[in-house]
């Protein structure tokens, strides 16, 4: 094992153990890891470039996955493969985002990565202002903790559509077509235009959108109405 990989893996493990967060942006790694890397490798004049190279190596070894360019998820963070880091070391702090549905805190790096992958746009409503968007979970946050930062289990939705999705008023089928609860009715022009009038329409997602058909099927099986 290269010394660089050993140190970066150690610090990623320390970061996760101290913060409880398994998603991190490259800019955060620069800010928080560079002092340690410069101390460990004083002969290296380009620690940023070397860090990027090592992160790519860890990705190739399936120890990291990409949420979006420059945003990484620690694949094995839920396990104990890396062991417990003991002894003195830097104190890491992760930035979090407070969602509007359910008062959940999620890593801001994960939110930013998801919004970037989807062009900061709700694919159902077309709302394209980041402050009006939430990261909605297909399989519930509370019941599936291992899926909280799984890009296959999330979709950016407007705050209104996030609440409607969580309430089971609409969903997507495995072919990513919009399906609306049969009993759902509304006088809202927005909801009628974006949901009721679009029943059965395909929802356009980015070509590299990782939304999981398996997660959608499992979600839809839990609804109290039949998805066509």
**Do 25 and 71 touch, CB atoms closer than 8 A?**
yes
Q: Which residues contact 25 (CB under 8 A, 6 or more apart)?
A: 70, 71, 72, 109, 112, 113
pLDDT at 89: 80
Cα distances from 116 to residues 23, 24, 96, 131, in angstroms, run 14, 14, 17, 13
Return the CATH architecture of domain 3-74.
Orthogonal Bundle (1.10)
pLDDT at 70: 93
What pLDDT sits at residue 210? 92
**Residue ranges of the chain with pLDDT lower than 50?**
78-82
Q: Measure the CA–CA gap between 202 and 172, rounded to whole angstroms.
A: 9
> Taking the domains of the chain in order of start, what are their residue ranges?
3-74, 96-221
CA distance 90 to 172: 44
Please list, in sequence order, all residues whose beta carbon lies within 8 angstroms of the beta carbon of residue 30, skipping any fewer than 6 positions away.
48, 51
Q: How many CA atoms lie within 13 A of 117 on its CB side?
A: 25
pLDDT score, position 9: 94
- List Cα–Cα distances, 71 to 14, 177, 192, in angstroms: 18, 28, 36
Helix axes 26-40, 3-19, angle to 10 degrees: 130
pLDDT of residue 87: 57
Q: Work out the burial of residue 144: count CB atoms within 10 Å of its CB; fewer than 13 is exposed, 13-18 middle, 19 or more buried.
A: middle
- Residue 172: what are its φ and ψ, rounded to 5°? -115, 145
């Amino acid at each position: 094992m290269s010394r660089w990989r050993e140190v970066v893996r150690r610090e990623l493990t320390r970061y996760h153990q101290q913060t409880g967060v398994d998603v991190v942006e490259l800019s955060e790694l620069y800010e928080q890891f560079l002092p340690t890397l410069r101390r460990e490798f004083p002969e290296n004049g380009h620690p940023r470039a070397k860090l990027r190279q090592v992160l790519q190596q860890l990705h190739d070894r399936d120890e990291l996955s990409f949420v979006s360019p420059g945003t990484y998820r620690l694949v094995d963070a839920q396990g104990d493969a890396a062991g417990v880091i003991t002894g003195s070391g830097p104190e890491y702090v992760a930035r979090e985002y407070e969602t509007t549905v359910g008062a959940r805190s999620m890593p801001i790096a994960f939110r930013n990565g998801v919004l970037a992958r989807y062009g900061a746009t709700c694919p159902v409503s077309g709302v394209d202002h980041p402050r009006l968007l939430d990261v909605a979970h297909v399989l519930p946050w509370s019941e599936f903790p291992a899926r909280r930062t799984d890009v296959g289990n999330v979709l950016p939705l407007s705050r209104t559509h996030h609440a409607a999705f969580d309430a089971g008023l609409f969903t997507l089928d495995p072919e990513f077509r919009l399906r609306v609860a049969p009993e759902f009715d509304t006088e809202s022009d927005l909801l009628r235009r974006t949901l009721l009038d679009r029943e059965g329409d395909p929802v356009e997602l980015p070509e590299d959108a990782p939304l999981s058909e398996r997660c959608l099927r499992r979600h839809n099986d839990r609804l109290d109405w039949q998805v066509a």
